[in-house]
Amino acid sequence: MDFVLKPLPYAYDALEPHISAQTIETHYEKHHRGYVEKLEKMLAGEPLAGRSLEHLIREASGPVYDNAAQIWNHDLYWRSLCPAKDRSEKPKHGLLSVRIDGAFGSSEALSWRLAAAAEHLFGSGYVWLFWRPSVERLEVAGLPDADNPLRSGDVPLLCIDIWEHAYYLDRRNRRDQYTDAVIRNLLDWDAAEQRLRAAL
Ligand code: FE
């Protein structure tokens, strides 16, 4: 059973000035932890409690799906970001950069696509960069609520949480400022490259 709150891979203040320590602490300790506790409570004594989060995302529905997906999504979100000092500013030349150029034209064009997906997503959700094995291509999509590309057989490489709790303390209603700051300064391209390699 992996309904555990995985450790945050950096300190609360590691993503400043782009995301404040207060936002990270509240997001992780209240929201992410809350999904873990809700799912544990919901599945106590149930056969599904022994299944993986991935299984629940693919097979469950309603609140079990929502909470399982939210745990998985946050685990990936924390690992989609990294402190600016540790990060490659752009995808290094390699498998990911070749696939980005093939699908979008350039890493700059991918940044615009990610920002546009965030802008056009009505309400809460995530922006995803994922590998679609059926067409052997990278894709970008904004998906509502907890929805996750695993459900359609795709392989998530990066996600950006654009629920209000991800930015409201820092940016109030300016979702665009938050998504721009994340896309320009925090996305962990090396981690996305590793996930793509594992998927191929
Ligand atoms: Fe969140």
- For position 3, what pLDDT does the model report? 81
Domain ranges of the chain: 20-200
How far apart are the CA of 153 and the centre of ligand 1, in A?
23
**How does pLDDT run along the chain (200 residues), one tens digit per residue?**
558 899 999 999 999 999 999 999 999 999 999 999 999 999 999 989 999 999 999 999 999 999 999 999 999 999 999 998 889 888 988 999 999 999 999 999 999 999 999 999 999 999 999 999 999 999 999 999 999 999 999 999 999 999 999 999 999 999 999 999 999 999 999 999 999 999 99
The type of residue at 150 is L
How far apart are the CA of 105 and the centre of ligand 1, in A?
30
How far apart are the CA of 78 and the centre of ligand 1, in A?
10
20-200 CATH: 3.55.40.20
- For position 2, what pLDDT does the model report? 54
Burial label, 4 (beta-carbon count in 10 A; 0-12, 13-18, 19+): exposed
How far apart are the CA of 45 and the centre of ligand 1, in A?
27
How far apart are the CA of 73 and the centre of ligand 1, in A?
8
How far apart are the CA of 123 and the centre of ligand 1, in A?
13
- For position 25, what pLDDT does the model report? 98
Asked if 91 contacts 189 with a C-beta cutoff of 8 angstroms, the reply is yes
How far apart are the CA of 8 and the centre of ligand 1, in A?
13
- Reported residue count of the chain is 200
How far apart are the CA of 62 and the centre of ligand 1, in A?
18
- For position 104, what pLDDT does the model report? 98
How far apart are the CA of 47 and the centre of ligand 1, in A?
27
